Structures are given as structure tokens and as C-alpha cells.
Amino acid sequence: MKTMCPDMKFTITGIMSQVLNVQLAPGDILKTAPGRLISKSFNVNVKINDSAFISGLKKMFSDSFIDMVEYSSEKGTGLVTVGPSVPGMIMDVDLGKGDWIMQKHGMLACSRGTAISREMQRHLGDPQFDQEGLVLLKVSGDGTAFIASCGDFTTMDLRPDDRYTVSTSHALAWESSVKYSIRSIRSKAEDTRDDDECVTDFKGPGRIVIQNMSEGDIAGMVARFSAKNQ
């Protein structure tokens, strides 16, 4: 069992679709995106947190508001298990070593000592994103954050001045030391299309996390499956 900052213990279990298991001692707090609870022990309390921790989130979304859910324990050690909204993998990052930028759907959970703010929101015209567009979060502080991918993920360590290009819908997260820019790769000859395809150009140094599926990929799979069974 690993230890996050502050000293809460956790494990990440599963193979094809992972879950996060956290031990909560009295005074410990775990914060998650809504709808991520899988199970908990009887002594774990749950509340919607609209404190200063998420004050910046109220201004983050043009047409939606997302609260963070807070888990704490009383009367001994408690256990809570949370998981992503779609099948995928989980990665822990120590924010004491540096800030991270990540897609909104990638924020699974975090410990106390973590701050979340909006990095960027942009409507890209890429069919891989819903009407909210691309929403990037900046996650900072001295706690631990947990990133959830769609499907599997790989990490790349970029050296200073290394450059790498990733489909924007698959660019899940990266260290704030990495410079990035987003652009469309639709050619002028294809101007009759309604949709753009976007990529993100990265420049090191720092680590980037690339997921092998996107929310758009999964939504398309579900739609095709539903159509076949109607």
C-alpha cells in the first residue's frame, strides 16, 4: 500500500479497469469528482463540498457546475473505493514535486492540500469533444492527485527542447514545466467538413500522459452498440 501526501495510504487495483482504494484515518479527507464512489465502510462520511477549495470551479464551466465530493472518516480507520466514469487506468502524482495540467475528465480524486483552477476552456470544433469543448485544469499544492484515463495510458519524459505532437483528445495530462499549444490540422482542401481535428504540440522538459482512447471514442462505441441492438 502506497502513501500519499498527506499520510493517507492507498492502493490502485485492477487490470483492464482500475479503481482507487484509500484508507482514511480520523482527520483525513479525500476529494473526488461527483459520481465516482464505488463503495465505502460504514464510518466514512460523504458531503458535497462547496468550500473555498473549489471556489474557482464555480467560474470554470460556462453551462455546468461541478461540486467536489468529500470523504472523511470517524471512529477509526475507514475505507473508500472510487473509480473513473469509464473503463481506464489510474495514475497518482505528487504535487509537491510540481503542478500538473490535465483534461477535466482526468481529475478523479485528490487529497487535502490540493488546489484546482481553470487553465483553459476552448470550443475546438473537434467531434471528440462535447459542447463544453476542451476544459483543462491546473492542479497544484502539496497533496496527491489521481488522474484517470480513458482506456490505457503511456507516459513520456521529454528532455529540454524535445518536441512531441499528440491528438488533443488523447493528451490527458502533463507537468506544468511542459510548454504546449493546440492547433487544427484540417487542410484548406478539406474546408467543406464541419469538424476539425486538433493536435497538441508539446515542448520539454517534463512528463506527458497519453491515453489510448477518448471520451468521444467511448461514446461512439456505445452509440454503435445501441444502434445494433435496437
pLDDT at position 131 over 90: no
pLDDT at position 121 over 90: no
Question: Cβ(4)–Cβ(111) under 8 Å?
Answer: yes
Residue pLDDT, tens place only, 57-93 = 444 433 333 568 999 998 899 999 999 988 999 999 9
pTM of the full structure: 0.82
**Cα–Cα distance measured from residue 100 to residue 34, given in angstroms and rounded to the nearest whole number:** 21
pLDDT at position 5 over 90: no
**Cα–Cα distance measured from residue 26 to residue 120, given in angstroms and rounded to the nearest whole number:** 36
Whose CA is closest to 158, among 212, 208, 99, 102?
208
Residue 15 burial (10 A CB sphere; 0-12, 13-18, 19+): exposed
Whole-number Cα distances in Å, 133 to 18, 96, 164, 168, 195: 26, 30, 23, 11, 13
Q: What is the mean pLDDT of residues 133-139?
A: 86
Q: What is the mean pLDDT of residues 34-41?
A: 94
Peptide bond into 87 cis (omega under 30): no
Specify the DSSP element, H or E, that contains 219. Answer: helix 215-228
How far does the chain reach from its first CA to its final CA, in angstroms? 45
- Give 227 or 118, the one with higher predicted confidence: 118
Q: Which residue has the cell 502524482?
A: 93
Buried b (16+ CB within 10 A) or exposed e, 50-59: eeebbeebee
Question: Cβ(207)–Cβ(164) under 8 Å?
Answer: no
**Cα–Cα distance measured from residue 12 to residue 209, given in angstroms and rounded to the nearest whole number:** 17
- Give me the pLDDT at residue 16, please: 81
Residue pLDDT, tens place only, 204-227 = 999 999 999 877 666 665 566 566
What share of the chain in percent tops pLDDT 70? 73
- Give me the pLDDT at residue 6, please: 61
**What average pLDDT does the structure give for the chain?**
82
